[in-house]
Chains A and B, each alone.
Chain A
C-alpha cells in the first residue's frame, strides 16, 4: 500500500468480519509502581511501540477512507484489517499495559475514532472531559490514543492535565479555561500510544504548521478497552515496593484540597488490587499522605494487604 491507496485496495486485505468487542488475554507488563503511577496521574505514554510499516499502512488507510473536509470520522472498519488488530490493538507493549490495568480477558474496542486535525489550526480545542464520564474509584475501561505519524508540538498534539480524573467538572463548564499550568503534552514519535482514565481533562493544542508528514493531517486514533473480570493484583508484583513511602500526590496536587488527590489515587489503586473494601480514609495523618515515614513503619490506616511485611497477595 502507499499514499495513493484507495479504499478498494484495503477491501482486498480485509477479513470477512472484524473482532469488535472480542475478548483476548496476554501477559501484564506493568509493575506495582507503574500501576500506582497511572492511578495518580491518570495517563501513561508509550512512545514508538507500533512498528513503522504498520504506522504507514494505518495512515494510508485513514487517507483512503477519510473525507479530508470532515473531522472526527470513525474509521471503525479498519478493525477488519488483521495487521491493524495485531500490530496496534494487540500491540504487545500497549496491551501489556492495558492487561495490567483491566485484568484478564479484556475486550477489543467496538468503535475507533480518528481525531483528524487539519494543519494548521490556529485555535486550540477547548478543555473537556469526554462525554459519558463518571467519577469513580473503579477502572472498568481505558481510553487509548494512538499516533500513527509523528506528532510534533507544532502539529497540535493533545495535552492532558495530570490527576484531573478526580477533578470534578462538567465539560460545558470547562469551556472558558485557557492555559493551565503543569499540563503534559502528548507530542510523540510515530507509533506512540497513550492510555488514559476516561475522564481525564484534555484538549487539542493549536497547530502552527501547515500540511506536513505523510498524511498532511494530524491523525489521532481513539478507542476503548473494557474489563471483563473482577480486579486483582495480578500485574508484575515488586516485593521490594513500599506502599508506605510511595508518593500518591500528583504534580497538580496544588489544584486540590491538600492531599485530596492522594486519597483518590490510593483508593483507585486499592480497588485495582481487589482490596477496595480495605481502603480507609481516617483523616489526619493517615495513609497515603504520610509518605515520609521511616524505617519500614506502616502508616496509620494502610490496608493490611499493602503493609510492610504483609504476606497477603
Chain B
C-alpha cells in the first residue's frame, strides 16, 4: 500500500512540475495490476463467544510465508483478539454459524468461528 501511495504522490508532483510522462503512468498501472492479482489470504479465528472481543481459542492462517497454525515464533497466537487481526488489515467475511448453536443438547465444532481475508 505504501509503495502505491508513494508512486501516486510522485506522479502528482511530476504533473505539477510538468515532468509527468507516459512511462510513469504505465508503471503506476503495473503496480495497481500486481496489487489486484495478489493471492487472497485467509484467517480463521475461533472464539469462546460471538463477541468479537471474546477469548481466542483457536487460529489458523493460510497466507504465503505464515505458519498455518497461526502462531508466532514463541508459539503464541498471532493475534490475541479479533480486533488485533482487524487492525492488521484483516476483514471479516463470515460470522459464526449461528444455526449450529441452536441445538440445546449438543455442541458443534470449535467455539465460534470468524473467517477473515486480506
A206's nearest neighbour on chain B, judged by CB, is B69
Most buried by A among B44, B69, B71, B101: B69
Q: A254 and B48 in contact (CB under 8 A), knowing A178-B58, A178-B69, A179-B69? A: yes
Which of A160-207 touch B at CB < 8 Å?
166-169, 173-174, 176-182
Interface residues on B, range: 20 to 34
Count the A-B residue pairs with Cβ separation under 8 angstroms: how many?
A: 66
A174 / chain B contacts, CB cutoff of 8 Å: 109-110
| Distance between A285 CB and nearest chain B CB, rounded to angstroms | 17
| Distance between A23 CB and nearest chain B CB, rounded to angstroms | 34
CA distance A180 to B48 in the complex (A): 12
The one of B61, B106, B107 that contacts A178, using a Cβ cutoff of 8 Å: B61
CA distance A255 to B60 in the complex (A): 17
A178 / chain B contacts, CB cutoff of 8 Å: 44, 58-61, 68-71
CA distance A183 to B83 in the complex (A): 24
A283's nearest neighbour on chain B, judged by CB, is B104
Q: Is A124 an interface residue (CB 8 A)?
A: yes
Q: Main secondary structure on chain B at its contact with chain A? A: strand
Which of A231-265 touch B at CB < 8 Å?
254-257, 260-261
| Distance between B114 CB and nearest chain A CB, rounded to angstroms | 13
Chain A interface, number of residues (Cβ within 8 angstroms): 21
Q: A168 and B107 in contact (CB under 8 A), knowing A179-B69, A254-B48? A: yes
The chain B residues found within 8 Å of chain A, CB to CB, are 44, 46, 48, 55-62, 68-71, 75, 77, 101, 106-111
The chain A residues found within 8 Å of chain B, CB to CB, are 124, 135, 166-169, 173-174, 176-182, 254-257, 260-261
The 8 A-B residue pairs with the shortest CB-CB distance, nearest first, are: A178-B60, A178-B69, A179-B69, A180-B58, A254-B48, A256-B107, A178-B70, A181-B57
What are 29 residue pairs bridging A and B, where the CB atoms are less than 8 Å apart in the complex?
A: A124-B69, A167-B107, A168-B106, A174-B109, A174-B110, A176-B44, A176-B60, A177-B46, A177-B60, A178-B44, A178-B60, A178-B69, A178-B71, A179-B58, A179-B60, A179-B71, A179-B75, A180-B57, A180-B58, A180-B110, A181-B56, A182-B57, A255-B48, A255-B107, A255-B110, A255-B111, A257-B101, A257-B107, A261-B107
